[in-house]
Structure 1
């Protein structure tokens, strides 16, 4: 048969793939019906993924579930409802956990609850791909892992804002990688401690001069708003931390900026891993976060030019508490 005359019974393999129907649950999701299937914890997860871009199975399990089996089952259900999307990065050694991002139905639900159009949420068709192939993915995961550890160990996070939210609030002065309140006070009467802090997650990709150039912005914010909020810098190695401390010591003293450092080799959430950087009052030993809260006098949460941040629990569009509503028990 001539090449120009195709076989009537032949169907190219590519055409078969194109004609393969998308699974119904991923193809179309009715928001009214979806709202009846989501729990308060699901809604919390939608907000957290919108705020922090990407969370792994390990993050979500630690923050919101008591059973890994329940975690995986619920995330799989949310995936088929298009509430979340996911990818798994390729690693040269071992396998990575599933990485979850906000799905289209989740973004549409978020937009509907906020009374805005979908583009206002920042979600796009290539949302997951942009995160998966972002050159800053490992940095984002590092920040989210550190804050997840703080949220699930001694004390808890009363507030956790992403780099995007922090930039929206304080971008005229600073661009921290996160802002958080770490505390042991759950609302009960009695003594408690509160450590508000900005976080710089230093991977060593910037030269020391560029890190130093960030400090005047933190001092200017404190002077403008009348607040005193520490800066915590997590570094990649002991060598990097030592070099950074030597570079920043004089500037930190001159600006009277409360600053402490740690490194990956030392950091665990409950260990004394943080070393303040001031020549006049610096302790010789590293401190835990509760000890940092009492080491510096007159600490206060960061503010904006107009006012300090609203108290936790007040109505706000920010995801104040990274601890989700949780049923009494999780059944496997």
Structure 2
């Protein structure tokens, strides 16, 4: 199979994806009624998460929902056998990549049935996994999910902390796409106060001028809605971070935006930590919780309340399953 060009930067830069599923399963899978009796609440939550966030690795799923990597792998093999999930393993320049999971045909049918929708309306196609595996944005999407899964998993062992809301790029576009299109929107707190934030995950592939142009949209959002979330910009290296800060600081000040930046040099496994620097002269790096205290005027984005146009599949998915330590 011919390989595709690797992303220039980000988590996907180490490998080229292939769409071939390496594990066999029966050609026929159980119908929805039979399958529903075999699945736990955590399984249904995972199907919704894969529909919402498109692709999650074994390690990301284990981080969110299981007590060990081994238990996650065991259950995911079962779900793959029943076609609730599909998977692919990218080819790596060295070593091996973890299994990458997407929503499978039975999982899509189950979600459509739960929502009372036709499968076509759900948007799932037989080519779903292949499109994700070969997507040039795979590394970008994995990077976003890596940050947010670390934040969500941290709250399992930190009682006062919570990732209370996590919306994907697609959900953000559905709500605010005529003004802004962030890579994610989330609510974070560790005690008080709340930090509502848009996330821009910068892989370094866009010119600085294009990143700067996005600030106009975020300023327009504040003007149009009267709400003021923070804007967090995460990039790949400290040098790129410094270049962004130099380019964006004047515009952020002029537009009265609350912006903080960080890079993968700092936030690899603990993005809640003291790695975020407000976009102002002389600012020191601080935690997400301290950012909320630093900007007391922040307010959650408007447009989050359910409407008559929402279905069970357009409402936010809880970042953690209903019973992370439950049955297999």
User: Normalising by structure 2, what TM-score?
Assistant: 0.86
Q: Is the 8 A contact 1:84 1:102 kept in 2?
A: yes
Partner of 2:8: none
Compared CA separation, residues 177 and 294, structure 1 to 2 (3 A): same
Q: Secondary structure, in 3 states, of the residue corresponding to 1:79?
A: helix
Alignment of 1:71-220 (within 5 A): 71-153=72-154, 155-184=161-190, 192-220=192-220
Number of aligned positions between the proteins:
295
Matched, 1:247 2:244: no
Within 2, Cα distance between the matches of 1:244 and 1:328? 41
Within 1, Cα distance between the matches of 2:317 and 2:48? 10
Partner of 2:316: 319
Within 2, Cα distance between the matches of 1:301 and 1:309? 11
Compared CA separation, residues 116 and 329, structure 1 to 2 (3 A): closer
Q: Is the 8 A contact 1:157 1:183 kept in 2?
A: yes
Within 2, Cα distance between the matches of 1:121 and 1:132? 20
Q: Secondary structure, in 3 states, of the residue corresponding to 1:199?
A: strand
Residues 182-232 of structure 1: per-residue CA shift (max 9 Å, x gap): 1235xxxxxx32111000000110000000000011011111111011000
Q: Is the 8 A contact 1:54 1:99 kept in 2?
A: yes
Compared CA separation, residues 107 and 79, structure 1 to 2 (3 A): same
Compared CA separation, residues 23 and 49, structure 1 to 2 (3 A): closer
Q: Is the 8 A contact 2:276 2:288 kept in 1?
A: yes
Which structure's relative contact order is higher, taking Cα pairs within 8 Å and 6+ residues apart?
2
Compared CA separation, residues 209 and 294, structure 1 to 2 (3 A): same
Within 1, Cα distance between the matches of 2:211 and 2:71? 42
How far did 1:309 drift? 3.5
How far did 1:139 drift? 0.5
Q: Is the 8 A contact 2:88 2:101 kept in 1?
A: yes
Q: Which of 275, 291, 306 is equivalent to 1:273?
A: 275
Compared CA separation, residues 94 and 169, structure 1 to 2 (3 A): same
Within 2, Cα distance between the matches of 1:65 and 1:184? 22
Matched, 1:285 2:284: yes
User: Normalising by structure 1, what TM-score?
Assistant: 0.85
Q: Secondary structure, in 3 states, of the residue corresponding to 1:272?
A: coil
Within 1, Cα distance between the matches of 2:180 and 2:25? 45
Q: Secondary structure, in 3 states, of the residue corresponding to 1:94?
A: coil
Q: Secondary structure, in 3 states, of the residue corresponding to 2:91?
A: coil
Runs of 4+, deviation exceeding 6 Å: none
Within 1, Cα distance between the matches of 2:46 and 2:65? 9
Consecutive unaligned residues in structure 1, runs of 5 or more: 1-21, 186-191
How far did 1:327 drift? 5.9
Q: Is the 8 A contact 1:67 1:330 kept in 2?
A: no
Within 2, Cα distance between the matches of 1:181 and 1:239? 28
